Amino acid sequence: MVTVLPEHVSHIERDPPVFVIGCEGKIVSSERLPNGRYNIVLLGTRRFRICAEPPRPSARLYRIAQVERLDDSNDPADASRLHALRSRVSELFIDLVSVVAPTRAPEISPSFFAGMDDTRFANTLCQVLDLPAVEKQGLLEANSIPERLERLSVALQFRLAELTWRGTPQAKKLH
């Protein structure tokens, strides 16, 4: 799965330019819509970089590309920084849940994430958060788990600030 560059979204039928970093995924659910299109939910499994995209024959309804799989670097020397980032992101996520879904907030605590390794923790939150496509793309393009957690921390802080600034009734609980 790749994301179309924002300025080309209106040209979706004409194979518009896409970001070069994408994510392999497994289809976990799909729903055919009345107009023949589908809603598809993917579980991301691994990042990749597009190396080349051959021209698409008009009879083929999808694009293909030659890709290079990307690994998330995770330097053991970053362990204490990673722990601090994970704690901060966990705290921000809990704050966000308490604002946008207060009835669900009691279900989420730091122990909720205890069984996840750092990579799964970061990638799961990146997938489940309702962030604009460009922000999700920025998270996907982070080359390491600490970098992804730093970006995620910033995105969560902005989202919380946005909700607080709008003065939503739930946001007032943060003060």
Question: What is the rounded distance in angstroms from the CA atom of residue 146 to the CA atom of residue 81?
Answer: 8
| pLDDT given at position 168 | 53
Query: What pLDDT, on the 0 to 100 scale, is given for residue 119?
Result: 87
What pLDDT band is residue 173 in, cutting at 50, 70 and 90? very low
Q: Which residue has the tokens 């970098």?
A: 147
Alpha carbon distance 140, 136 (integer Å): 6
The whole-number pLDDT of residue 169 equals: 52
Taking residues 106-125, report their average pLDDT. Answer: 83
Mean pLDDT of the chain: 86
Q: In which band, very low, low, confident or very high, does the pLDDT at 65 lie, cut at 50, 70 and 90?
A: very high
pLDDT band at 41 (very low <50, low <70, confident <90, very high): confident
CB atoms near residue 112 (< 10 Å): 13
What's the total number of domains in the chain? 2
Q: Tell me, yes or no, whether 65 and 96 share the same domain.
A: no
Highest mean pLDDT among 38-42, 65-69, 80-84, 123-127: 65-69
Task: Quickly state the pLDDT bin for 172 (edges 50, 70, 90).
Answer: very low
Entry pTM:
0.79
* Cβ–Cβ < 8 Å for 4, 16: yes
Answer whether residue 1 is part of any domain: no
Q: Are residues 64 and 82 in the same domain?
A: no
Same domain, 130 and 156: yes
Segments forming the whole domain that contains residue 157:
76-174
In the prediction, which pLDDT does 164 show? Answer: 79
pLDDT at 28 over 70: yes
Name residue 66's beta-bridge partners.
52
Other CB atoms within 10 Å distance of the CB of residue 94? 17
Give the domain CATH number at 112.
1.20.58
Q: What is the pLDDT of residues 71-105, one digit of tens each?
A: 887 777 888 999 999 999 999 998 888 888 888 87
